[in-house]
Each structure stands twice: as C-alpha cells, then as structure tokens.
Structure 1
Amino acid sequence: MIFEVWAPKATTVDVSVEDVRHAMSRGQGGWWSVDVAGASHGTLYAYAVDGEGPYPDPRSRRQPEGIFGPSAVYDHGRFTWSDHDWKGRDLRGAVVYELHVGTFTQEGTFAAAVEKLPHLVELCVDFVEVMPVAPVPGGRNWGYDGVDLYAVNETYGGPDGLKTFVDACHRAGIGVILDVVYNHLGPSGNFLDPFAPYVSGLKGSYWGDAVNLDGPDSDEVRRYFVGNAVQWLRDYHIDGLRLDAVHALHDRRATHLLAELSAEVDALACSVGRPLTLIAESDLNDPRMVRSLDAGGLGMTAQWNDDVHHALHCAVSGESHGYYADFASLGALARVLTSGVLHDGSYSAFRGRSHGGSFAGVPGHRLVACLQNHDQIGNRPAGDRLPLTALKLGAGLLLTSPFTPMLFMGEEWGARTPFLFFSDHVEPALRESEGERREREFDGFGYEWDAPDPSDEEAFLRSKLDWTEVKEEAHWSLLCWYRDLIALRKALPELSDPRLDRVRVEVDPLERWLVMWRGALAVAVNLAQESVTVPVAAGPGAVLLASDEPVVAGEEGMRLPGQSMAICRTDRPAGESQPKWR
C-alpha cells in the first residue's frame, strides 16, 4: 500500500506503520510517498516530519484512538450499501431537521439515531442536518472544535457508523445534510501546521486562525477542503453540506473557494446522478451567495437566514435585547416574510452600520429559515428553548412561509431539555478557560451571563433529549400540530410556493395580529392574550387547520382566541391585498 502526505517545506518525512518506521521519498509538489507491503484496512500509522512527531495523517480517514492517537487505514470499498435505488432529494419544497448525534438519544450514537428514524418519517421531514462529526477533543462537543476533518468521531460510531446511518436514512426516504467547518480548526489536536501552511497565521474569527485560502501554497490547501467535501458526498453518500460561518472564510482570490466548491459539487452531481446541496451559514445578507455561478454568484443552493429567525423569535417571545432590537416590531416580521431579509442595505443597530443587500428575485427555498437551531438555543446562557405556545405560533408561521423550514431536534414536541454549550478539552488551560471564553464571545448580546461550566459533563447530559416527554398530553398535542402543519404544507402548493413577490402580509401592531396571504390561503395569527377579529372573510368549512378552538369564521372576519392561529381558504384573489403595516 502506498502512503502519501503533503509536506512541501519538510526535509525528511517518515511514516511509522505498526511501529515500524519507513523513510518516504519527496515527489512533485511537495508530496512524499512510500510503498509499504502488508498495510491494509485497519493498519495503524503516523508520520514524523523533520524528526518531529508522531502526527496523524492530515487526511486521516479514521482515528480509532482519538485525535492524539495514530491514524488507521480505512478502505471505503469494504462497506456494503443498500441504497442503490436512492435518487436523492431536492431542497425545493423540503423540510429540514437539525440534530446533534451525541444528544439526540441517550446513547449518543449513529446506531441509536437510526432507531428514531420512524419518528422522523411520521413527522414527514425530507432531510436531517447532522451537526459536525469530525473527531474532537475528549468525549463530548458540539463538533465545531473538529480536527482530522476526513475522519468521523469514534464516540458516535466512526466511519462505518455514519455510513450505516446514511444508508438507513435513505431507505427511510430521508436525505442527509452534514454540517462541515472549513473556516477554522479546533484549538486542540490540530497537527496540520508541522506539515504545511494550512492556516494563514492571521486571526480569522473569534474561533481561531484563518485558513490559508489565498496565500503561498494555498492551491493545495484549497484542494484539501474541496476534496473533503467531495469525500462526504461521494464516499459517504451524503446528500448535501451545511458550510459553517462562510463569512469567516478569508479569500481574496478572483474565484472564491465557495465558487470553486460549487463547480466541483455540480460536476460530482452529474457523476453520481442525484442532486447535491450546498447550504451556507452566512450573516452577510449577500444575495450573491445563492446566485448561480453563471449569474456571477457563488453558487450555493441556499443559505441560513437569521433575519427570519430573529423576527419570528421576537414576535412569539417578546424579547428585544441585543441583535433582536431591530426585529421587535410586527412590521419587521412582515418585511422578512415578503422580502426574505430585514437588512437589505438598511441600518443595523446591532452592527452600527448599514448591512446586506436586496434578495429581490431570489426564490424563498434558497433561504433556510427556522424558529430554533443549535446556535439560537445553545448561545443562550441557560440553553433554554421556547415554550409550547410560542412554538405553536412560530411553527405555524414558519411552516406556511415561502422559505425552506428547518426544525431543531425536540422542537416538534416542545422538549423541555435545554441545549447547552458543552466541550471536553483535554488540556487543563483550555478546560478552565472555556466558560470565560464563551462569556466574552457574547459580550454585548444583552444576556446576564450565568451559564453552566461547558467542561462539566452535566452540561452535556442535561442536553440529551428526553423521549419520554412525547407521551405527555401537551407534548403529544404539539407534535400532532407540527405533523399537521407539515402535511398541509406538502398537500397545498400555495404553502410551498417560493415566490416572495406573491406573499402579502397585513399586521396590526396594536391588536397584535398578522395575516399572511399565500394565494387564496390566509394564515391568520393572533399573538395577543385576548381574542381578536382579523379581516379575513371565510365562509363555512373554510378553516383548514386551527391551533385552538373555537375559531369563528364569517364574511365580516375571523374571530381568533388569544395566542392562536388558523389557516383557511378564501375567495380573495391572490395578490389583491396589500401590506398594511399600521
């Protein structure tokens, strides 16, 4: 078997295979190689660079002993797939479900997650979005401290565990999106620096040094990340990638890394014969992110849309601190529902400057919107979730909106368990400073920071979902509401129509009601405690779904109980109403 590694500045490179050292020969482009007889699937190996080491392989496919141990040879061809009839999933019209493998079940493994797939099938989601699975320090982590980016966390089940999970999802008719982190690497166990300039040496973001995407030797660094993306999509049959914090990618080249990645993934999709999705997490509000390459964009299939989350959160929670301040009015919610974003070049009070660009002409399915996600829950000191009533109203608006809706694990039944920030750094200095670092990161966000110690195992254990809650009446009722909303969205084309220019919204900030028109469908929401009449003319039998009874529908309007909503058919022509942001 031939071992290869890129180390352009090294004078000597050796590979230790099962504790036997072999000198490697330098080849073109700074690649070193050696043929070692007898090495095969499962063989342990590590590298020494200029006498220093041992270090795991930068492209290690398996780390059976964790990030500080040797790499292991892993042969993708040994796994037997059963998803040969899988044709993939398109993001258009889809519902996404985000989960963290370690807390989705008590066991915290891929195998245990497979056992919960019937629940997701009944919920009728189209994709699961799995938080990062790269190896991390210790035994628990959100995943954004990953290193050895080509490998899979052994505590979850390793490479075969991920493949088994993907295979089972495909058999259940569910696509898989994997969250990957290319803007930084974890602070612990990152052994790339002895090999080559993978990082630029410049502070790229709050989380660490910028990746070297445009400096000397960056051609091979870019291939490292593009090759990583291709591995997940090709060798693990993953259907899409969620790219973490792409605004923290520092790339001044004429062709941005995202455009390069998009072109490569488009070519791969032609080869494998199924759609492949790229979703960017970006806070830039830049429509070029989701425009096609031939239109001068970066070619992402979609991007996360924080503006929709913020406006929904403010409407159902009443919070207005920190970055929520600009989103506190119902007018802001009306704007994001019809324009996609609030900050389209307008002034952002949180940033102290104008922000974003117009998304006019961008279809709503290119904007992934949510009521909750790992960040928006986990970045709160107590990791607390929205209460049941807020979820009921927020989900009603989210799942009837023109965007691609995403749910966070447990949201569908109103899980009471928090989702706290947790980590398990090995180095004492990192363990002891993690809580303080976390507090500094959210300075100015408007929180009284009183969070549990992230390094305390209890923060991790408390974050595990309690599936017994589903049997309780209030939680079961909310789960049925989510199921009904998703079923209605899939049954009525108006509700999944992504054309933002066909959405009309009327609001009354004083009486706290909102009506969103989706063609001749009216989504009426009463956010106030008291009953209210909204100007929706609906005859007998027009109400298709209501969160609470009684809803009184008539030609003069619809009477909604406090904190409730209803979806009904009307005779009102699509586009007749105009926004009234009183």
Structure 2
Amino acid sequence: MGSTSFPAGWGAEFVAEDVVRFRLWATGQQTVTLRVSGEDLAMNPIGEGWFEREVTGVCAGDEYSFVLADGMTVPDPASRAQKEDVNGPSRVVDHRSYRWQHSDWKGRPWEESVVYEMHIGTFTPEGTFRAAIEKLPYLAELGVTMLEVLPVSQFGGNRGWGYDGVLLYAPHAAYGTPDDFKAFIDAAHGHGLSVVLDIVLNHFGPEGNYLPLLAPDFFHKERHTPWGAGIAYDVDAARRYIADAPLYWLKEYHLDGLRFDAIDQIEDTSDKHVLIEIAERIRAEIVDRPAHLTTEDSRNVIFLHPRNEDGSAPLFTGEWNDDFHNAVHVFATGETQAYYQDFAHQPEKMVARTLAEGFAYQGETSVQSGEARGVKSTGQPPTAFVDFIQNHDQVGNRAQGERLISLAGAERTRVLLAALLLSPHIPLLFMGEEYGETNPFLFFTDFHGDLAKAVREGRAKEFEGHGDFEGESVPDPNDVQTFTRSKLNWHTPESDQGAEWLAFTRHLLTQRARHIVPLLTTAGGNSGRIVATAPGFVAVSWRFPRGTLSMAFNIGPASQPLPALPGETLFASSDVGDALPQNAIIVRLAQGDAA
C-alpha cells in the first residue's frame, strides 16, 4: 500500500520529482494567473473551461493561489491543504513523502464492525489528529473495531461539525496537516482499528466557496438542497471533482471506507447515478483491503445496497438506520415532536420491526410528511443496517445537545445500549457513550459578521414554537464556550460510575465478538421475526445458519411475561425467571443449524 499516483483532475499534483501540474476549471473566467511561492504565472487555457500550468522547482509546502482578472485571489477549490483558513493560500502536498508504518494492513471484515463516531475537534482537549492518537489504545482495548471520523474537509473558521466543508480534498488545518491525519490512520491500523471518513458530496458550506465565481456551471440553476445550490452532477468537470474525491481519500490516506452524508440530496439525472459510479470505481480500484461504504438516506431505500450470492456488496455496504434511533428515542423518552411523531403510536412495535426487519417504514405513510416512505427491507441481511441510539446529529440537533442518558436516565440507557451492542445489526457508538458521558454535544460554528448573525438567529428560530424547547435559550453556535462545552470529559471514565459504565460496555463488546460476530458471516435476509411486544417491552429473534439469536428487553413500568427464547443465556442484566423485570434485558443463543 505505497503512495499512489492519482489520475489527473482538479488541483495541484506532482508529475515528476519537482514538477507540479496545477489544474483548475473556471468557465466563469477569461484568464487565470497562478501565484506560487510569490511568483505570478499565467495559466494556459486548454479547452472547455480548463486552465493548466506545469511548474518546475516546486516543493511540498509551497503556497499557491489563483489570481483572477479583477485581482481577486482565491484558494484552489481542490486544495490538498491550506496554510490556515479556508480563504487563504493553498499548499502543495507531496503524498509520496509519508512513510507508512503499517503498509501491510489488510483491513477487517464488515461483520466485525463496531463503529465509534468521533469529532476530532471535541474528542480530546487539544482537538487534533495527533492528540487523538493517544486515545487509540483505549479504544482498541474497549472492543471498538472501526473509527468513523466526522468530516474533516476544510470548512470556514476553526470550529464546526465539518458538514459545511468547501475544500473537499483538504484536511481541516485546525486539526493538523495531511501527514498528521495519515499518522492517525496509520496508528489506528497498528492497533487493529479500521478508519472510515464521513464525506459530504451534496453541498458546499457558506464561507470560502469560490466555485460560483470560478465556474457557475458547477451548480444547477434550478435545483437546490436545504443548504444551498444543488451541484450539477451531470456536468463533466463537476462530476469529476465530486467522483474523484472519495477515491482520493481512500487511496492517499489508506482509509478503510467512507460514510456518505445525506445522499437523498444528491440528485443526478445522468444515465448512471454519480453514487453508483463512485461505488463501482471504488470496488474496481480498492482491491487490497475491504472498502466499507455506508450511506445516510431518509428515503429508506435498498437499491444501493444489493448483495452478491456470496454475500459481498457490489455497491454500498450498509445504511444508517435512522428509523431504529427514532423509534428507540420515542420508546425511551416519550418525545413525539417533529419527526418523532412518525414513531409516536406504539413505539415498541416500531423498535421491534426495525430490529427484525430493518426499517420501520417500508412504504407506509409518514405522519409528519403525509407521504409514503420506504420499501420492503426484510430481504436485507441484518449487517446492511448501521444502528445507533445516539449520534452527532440526534444529540447536536437538540437545543441543549443532551445525550440520551440525560433524557432517559442511566438504567434505561444501559438496557438500550445492551440491545444495540448485542443485536446482529452493525452497532455505532457516539464518542463518550461507552462511559456514560453527560457533557452535551452542541451545534457550534466559527463564523463572523453577517454570517454569524444569520446562523445565530436561524438556530434560535429553529426552536421557536417547538413545544419541548419553547422558551429555552439556545446556545449561540459562534460562542467559543458552545464548542468547549461539547468536548469529552476524560475525567469521567476515571470515576467510579464512569469505570462501571466502561466495564459494562467492554463486557458487551466481548460477548458480541465471541458469540454474535461468528453468526454474521453467513447471515442472510429474512432472518428476523417479532416474538412479542407490549408497552415498554420488545422481544425479537433471528435465525441464522449457525444458530438462533433471541433478545427481550423491558423499560416499561411493570414486569412482563417472558416468552420462550431458545438456547443458553448469553447475557442478562438481572435474574430472570418467568418474567422480565423493569429495566432489564436478556439475550439467548441456540447454536446449530436453524434452517
């Protein structure tokens, strides 16, 4: 897995030892000047809006910008690194120079995945790639197998979630250099941890996006997303920028996969959808290790997640299962505002259906939208669904950023954590969840002037008239304290209560690796069934070629009769007889052929 030479496209690339080719698509400009290391060089128009210039004597780290005819200076939209912020000069990066310490890493199979979602800026006090390396032994010992890093593409300001990136090829400078990010991934591989990156291909952020000025054709004139102008995926140069980015991150940074954000907002009228093209290219070009590709999609679709006869995924590997989270949230908290109203009626049945079949909505009409949502998902293997009881979105999009433990209480949350980690779906933990973190995760940005005012007022307005949040003072996203309050408290896992939570999570993950993962290597579709439900109570089972897994849990006010669950007890949170007490869970496994 040595350094690769990426195909010619956007940006600055070494084509010889000290020769760099600079390429830019700028249909909105008649002339473009390259300013590199203080020298101005006219770029050569090569047709169809492309400008190019090869320069000898360029070194890694050299600064460069593009100067427009009116004198305005802008960074490279395909910058591989920024000197500092998103508006300043770009830096030349030589990917050949990093010496990988674990170049023999071959990845981990998907069924072993226990995902740990982390935001680099709040994961450690320092908020850098290098600081995060120090926590890798802790995560490996815990039983996590995959780190999912929130977007790191350069965005406006120093602080943010990362979903407003504008330079999609450049690691955020406040987190560190490209080599720092490589060192983080390299070290993770050394500890047996896969690393996947969350990427955003559906829009650009509000600060530092010069593409409308450089190339207006990059955006569709009529199509819009909730965050701005829609990208013209059917325009060749725009499509190349978008489709090359995932391969770039996978190849140059040796990542083990990608999570594609809000793909329902990627509207493409081309003969082949850009997402299918991306997945096919990744499968064809990444052959030395598994490439785990997951999607976030509110439509509840399965056409992007087919399986070959051998169980392998020819396109995308799995999908974030928001239905599971939403059903569990209503089940545990009773909140029914906004999109939670879709799960307000008998939430225990919704929870049971998501565990047994995948989606809660498989074509039924959404209460919130009044429209049908989803398709039948029973034929999908359980490993096609990435489940979570909390994540950055669901916590951070609350007015006060409360975690589930603060809303549902510790006892209920422990039961739901056990259900998450011992189900045959792929589990995802949000950073700090493993030790019962109570610090909030708030929505934070680092904008200034009119943009800061607009974001602050927009955030406050979002919760106006919102029953559960009406009258609350919404934290100012641009206040640095909003950011610092969102950092993990690493003293908590050292406390008695935190250590107890940590031991609980570790035990669950040990049981998962020992008993559940072996079932998943041959797990197919149509495996789950609902055994029983009652208010606060769920019982489900899954039949696999290697055995039957059953689970029952109760967070209701009274004990519930325990239905017949075959096999030996794999885990029980308390003594269980003929009834399951309040805030308890039992999981059983019957070994052998269940066909």
Return the TM-score normalized by structure 1.
Answer: 0.91
The runs of 5 or more residues in structure 2 that have no matched partner are: 1-18
* Residue of structure 2 equivalent to 1:235: 252
Q: Establish whether residue 226 from structure 1 lines up as the match of residue 243 from structure 2.
A: yes
* Residue of structure 2 equivalent to 1:543: 569
Distance 1:499 1:445 in 2: 42
CA offsets 1:549-580 (integer angstroms, 9 cap, x no match): 3x143xxx2x43321112235699959xxxxx
TM-superposed CA distance for 1:439, in Å, is 4.3
The answer to whether the Cα contact below 8 Å between 1:378 and 1:420 also exists between their aligned partners in 2 is: yes
* Residue of structure 1 equivalent to 2:9: none
The answer to whether the Cα contact below 8 Å between 2:300 and 2:375 also exists between their aligned partners in 1 is: yes
Provide the aligned C-alpha RMSD in A: 2.4
The structure 2 residue matched to 1:325, chosen from 321, 325, 341, is: 341
The structure 2 residue matched to 1:162, chosen from 181, 190, 215, is: 181
* Residue of structure 2 equivalent to 1:345: 363
* Residue of structure 1 equivalent to 2:44: 25
Q: Which stretch shifts more, 81-90 or 469-478? A: 469-478
* Residue of structure 2 equivalent to 1:258: 275
Q: Establish whether residue 248 from structure 1 lines up as the match of residue 265 from structure 2.
A: yes
TM-superposed CA distance for 1:543, in Å, is 3.3
Code of the residue aligned with 1:180 in structure 2: it is: I
Q: Secondary structure at the match of 1:76?
A: coil
The answer to whether the Cα contact below 8 Å between 1:389 and 1:563 also exists between their aligned partners in 2 is: yes
* Residue of structure 2 equivalent to 1:516: 540
The structure 1 residue matched to 2:492, chosen from 460, 469, 490, is: 469
The answer to whether the Cα contact below 8 Å between 2:392 and 2:430 also exists between their aligned partners in 1 is: yes
Return the TM-score normalized by structure 2.
Answer: 0.89
Code of the residue aligned with 1:12 in structure 2: it is: T
- Write the mapping of 1:121-520 to structure 2, written as runs, cut at 5 A: 121-196=140-215, 197-202=217-222, 204-214=224-234, 218-270=235-287, 273-291=288-306, 299-328=315-344, 329=346, 330-387=348-405, 388-426=410-448, 428-440=449-461, 447-449=468-470, 450=472, 451-493=474-516, 497=520, 498-510=523-535, 512-519=536-543, 520=548
Q: Which stretch shifts more, 116-125 or 375-384? A: 116-125
Q: Which stretch shifts more, 77-86 or 499-508? A: 499-508
Q: Establish whether residue 528 from structure 1 lines up as the match of residue 556 from structure 2.
A: yes
- Write the mapping of 1:60-79 to structure 2, written as runs, cut at 5 A: 60-79=79-98
Q: Secondary structure at the match of 2:103?
A: coil
The answer to whether the Cα contact below 8 Å between 2:196 and 2:258 also exists between their aligned partners in 1 is: yes
CA offsets 1:100-119 (integer angstroms, 9 cap, x no match): 00001111111111111112
Q: Secondary structure at the match of 1:78?
A: coil
Corresponding residue pairs, total: 559
CA offsets 1:250-289 (integer angstroms, 9 cap, x no match): 211121010110111011112xx11112211110111112
* Residue of structure 1 equivalent to 2:586: 566
The answer to whether the Cα contact below 8 Å between 1:402 and 1:495 also exists between their aligned partners in 2 is: no
The answer to whether the Cα contact below 8 Å between 1:490 and 1:496 also exists between their aligned partners in 2 is: no
The answer to whether the Cα contact below 8 Å between 2:435 and 2:498 also exists between their aligned partners in 1 is: yes
* Residue of structure 1 equivalent to 2:5: none
Distance 1:537 1:361 in 2: 23
Code of the residue aligned with 2:376 in structure 1: it is: S
The answer to whether the Cα contact below 8 Å between 1:103 and 1:464 also exists between their aligned partners in 2 is: yes
Distance 1:76 1:473 in 2: 45
Relative distance call for 1:507 and 1:445 in structure 2 (3 A) is: farther
Q: Which stretch shifts more, 35-44 or 342-351? A: 35-44
Distance 1:499 1:517 in 2: 14
Code of the residue aligned with 2:540 in structure 1: it is: M
Relative distance call for 1:277 and 1:442 in structure 2 (3 A) is: farther
Distance 2:178 2:533 in 1: 53
Distance 2:466 2:108 in 1: 37
Code of the residue aligned with 2:509 in structure 1: it is: I
Code of the residue aligned with 1:502 in structure 2: it is: S
Code of the residue aligned with 2:315 in structure 1: it is: G
The answer to whether the Cα contact below 8 Å between 1:340 and 1:500 also exists between their aligned partners in 2 is: no
Code of the residue aligned with 2:364 in structure 1: it is: S
Distance 2:355 2:321 in 1: 11
* Residue of structure 1 equivalent to 2:12: none
Identity %: 38
The answer to whether the Cα contact below 8 Å between 1:322 and 1:444 also exists between their aligned partners in 2 is: no
Distance 1:572 1:536 in 2: 18
Code of the residue aligned with 1:314 in structure 2: it is: V
CA offsets 1:46-103 (integer angstroms, 9 cap, x no match): 1123334211111111101211111111101111111112001232231111000000
* Residue of structure 2 equivalent to 1:580: none
Code of the residue aligned with 1:526 in structure 2: it is: N
Code of the residue aligned with 1:240 in structure 2: it is: G
TM-superposed CA distance for 1:152, in Å, is 0.8
Q: Secondary structure at the match of 1:492?
A: helix
Q: Secondary structure at the match of 2:505?
A: helix
Distance 1:552 1:245 in 2: 42
TM-superposed CA distance for 1:518, in Å, is 3.8
CA offsets 1:99-145 (integer angstroms, 9 cap, x no match): 00000111111111111111211121111000011112222000011
* Residue of structure 2 equivalent to 1:579: none
Q: Secondary structure at the match of 2:121?
A: helix
Q: Secondary structure at the match of 2:166?
A: coil
TM-superposed CA distance for 1:496, in Å, is 5.1
* Residue of structure 1 equivalent to 2:16: none
Distance 1:349 1:333 in 2: 17
Code of the residue aligned with 2:304 in structure 1: it is: M
TM-superposed CA distance for 1:292, in Å, is 5.8
TM-superposed CA distance for 1:419, in Å, is 0.3
The answer to whether the Cα contact below 8 Å between 1:13 and 1:47 also exists between their aligned partners in 2 is: yes
TM-superposed CA distance for 1:386, in Å, is 1.1
Code of the residue aligned with 1:59 in structure 2: it is: A
